[in-house]
Structure 1
Amino acid sequence: MADIDAWVWWLIGAAALGIPLVITAMPELGMLSVGAVAGAVTAGLGGGAVLQVIVFAVVSCALIAVVRPIAVRHRNQQPQLATGVEALKGKQAVVVERVDGAGGRIKLGGEIWSARALDGDATFEPGRQVDVVDIDGATAVVI
């Protein structure tokens, strides 16, 4: 084992960190893996063992300090493109059959939907435009 160069050991370490990254999806392991690749490059360029470890530590810590907060912020962000039921909220629709607190029908996105008024006392006559505020099952709640 003494005849294997240090840069090979660093690459083995990078691969060893990459395997759990794929299994667990922990981005920190990927950042440590990149640090190990930086250590391999340092070893390949002739840097001593202490310099290799310092480069590994600095690159790994820098990536964790810079990339991790960005990744966490991105992961916690709401999707910008609404799909499904969420995409229908806030859309305008046209009343097809009288809509009140008990029910009715609207034309929403080219389709006929059952609807009810958010305010139980409100009524909307055919031809009137209404706003969809929520979808309750297969019923649009309108104002």
Structure 2
Amino acid sequence: MQNKVAESEVIVRPLHIEDREDFLAMSKAFFNSDAVAHKVEDVYHERTFAELMRSSEYTECYMICIADQSVGYALTAKTWSREAGGLTVWLEELFILPEWRGHGLGATFLSRWLNRVEKKEKDIYRLRLEVEPENRDAMRLYRRQGFERLGYDAWVKELPH
């Protein structure tokens, strides 16, 4: 690991309308990286930002900042799970700019997010995430934070629009 950024220097805050350009740039970088199985259309990034500005009913976004510089973001989504017995929150995306990776920012975000969820969000029963099999660094990070492999294969069927 490179030099770790002091936790006191890391700001994790909700996404604001003023973050639009930073969010869209990082979101596009995420979907053009090895962390995802396939790219998405540009309109999907715009649609996601619009939904984030509309409501936190389905999804929330947190900007990860050092001083006034956005260096990453995390996107969560909510779903109901009978298997879990209630509300499940997915960590859909956790992205740190390449030049800021290895400084402990992902771990700092996860630690703060998990602390908030575990202490204040009593209606959440499970947290889930997906990770590409080749992304060993992310797997180590998630294991250190208490996540375990579920063992399911993920299947999807896209619907025409």
Q: Which TM-score bucket, shorter chain as reference? A: under 0.3
Give the structure with the higher percent strand.
2
The alignment's TM-score, normalised by the length of structure 2, stands at 0.21
Structure whose CA Rg is larger? 1
Give the structure with the higher percent helix.
1
The alignment's TM-score, normalised by the length of structure 1, stands at 0.23
